[in-house]
Amino acid sequence: MIAQKIQQPAGGEPRPVYQLSNVSRYFNNKEITALDGVGFEIAQGEFHSVIGSSGCGKTTLLKIMAGLMPPSEGRIMLNGRPVLGPRDDIGMMFQHATLFPWRTTIENILLPIEIRSGRKAAMAARSHAEELLRVVGLGGFEDIYPTSLSGGMAQRAAICRMLISEPDMLLLDEPFSALDEITRDFMNMELQKVCMERNASAFLVTHSISEAVILSDVVHVMSARPGRVITSIKIDLPRPRTLEMITLPEFGAYATTIRNLLDKGAFL
């Protein structure tokens, strides 16, 4: 079940947004090989995730994709330009929302614009931020301080902060793993909604097989260190995905395939 080119619903090849070729990363004078020859493409609007055992190189891969760390070997292209450092067309989200407590929710969301283009530009983007807050169910919370938000609400605000710059590529490092299961399921469906509405591409690091399957068009399964992509599995379930799909036999079959690969990969 190697990933094949994913077909656009109506005519034309999907545009590759992100291209990784032969990416390797060494540490400690090459004593540690964290990543070994990783390569794949993500097309416009596709959702990919990576799953693998602890220490297999997922975060290293995400940092390289974000331009926060250079690869030792290989090439990363986004929108046809090499990724050589952090960029406006990349949005990132981490396990913890990291909102500044002294800024209101909307001021936190507008922060990337303020840093990049100044206060006036941030003020001009206020209605866009309000619209994003409405999309994630936080309409009316604009002027609330983060200490009054629950964990799930803070992560929803963090989604808005990631989207305010309209990035083409969303990089997500276990963004909902600190939340309870019910909130996490809900947030995953919210994430799908915003990705579909904006036709954004996304790459998710996760430890959860069911999260990977329910969200993704392609799941990359990594081996234990040195991290290699053992297989990229195309998930052929219709969109929008719903939580009820977890009970489908196809869902169970994908989850079992990934589980078996991970069990085997741990000893490769």
Binding mask 205-224 for ligand ATP (x = CB under 6 A): --------------------
Kindly state the smallest distance separating residue 170's Cβ from ligand ATP, in Å: 18
Whether 88 and 81 have beta carbons less than 8 Å apart is answered as: no
Kindly state the smallest distance separating residue 52's Cβ from ligand ATP, in Å: 6
The two structure tokens encoding residue 96? 């913890």
Among 5, 15, 27, 100, binds ligand ATP (CB under 6 A): 27
Give me the residue label for tokens 């609007």: 45
3-state secondary structure the chain: CECCCCCCCCCCCCCEEEEEEEEEEEECCCCEEEEEEEEEEEECCCEEEEECCCCCCHHHHHHHHHCCCCCCEEEEEECCEECCCCCCCEEEECCCCCCCCCCCHHHHHHHHHHHHHCHHHHHHCHHHHHHHHHHCCCCCCCCCCHHHCCHHHHHHHHHHHHHCCCCCEEEEECCCCCCCHHHHHHHHHHHHHHHHHHCCEEEEEECCHHHHHHHCCEEEEECCCCECEEEEEECCCCCCCCHHHHHCHHHHHHHHHHHHHHHHHCCC
Considering only the stretches 7-15, 55-63, 104-112, 158-166, report the one whose residues sit in contact with ligand ATP under the rule CB under 6 A. 55-63
Closer residue to ligand ATP in complex, CB, 51/135: 51
Kindly state the smallest distance separating residue 57's Cβ from ligand ATP, in Å: 4
Kindly state the smallest distance separating residue 71's Cβ from ligand ATP, in Å: 13
Among 24, 49, 60, 210, binds ligand ATP (CB under 6 A): 60
Kindly state the smallest distance separating residue 174's Cβ from ligand ATP, in Å: 8
* 99-158 positions binding ligand ATP, by CB under 6 A: none
58 binds ligand ATP (CB under 6 A): yes
Residue 169: count other Cβ atoms within 10 Å of its Cβ. Answer: 22
Among 11, 12, 28, 267, binds ligand ATP (CB under 6 A): 28
Considering only the stretches 50-58, 102-110, 145-153, 184-192, report the one whose residues sit in contact with ligand ATP under the rule CB under 6 A. 50-58
55 binds ligand ATP (CB under 6 A): yes
Number of residues that bind ligand ATP (CB under 6 A): 13
57 binds ligand ATP (CB under 6 A): yes
Q: How far apart are the first and last CA of the chain?
A: 19
Binding mask 219-248 for ligand ATP (x = CB under 6 A): ------x-----------------------
The residue ranges that bind ligand ATP (CB under 6 A) are 27-28, 32, 34, 52, 54-60, 225
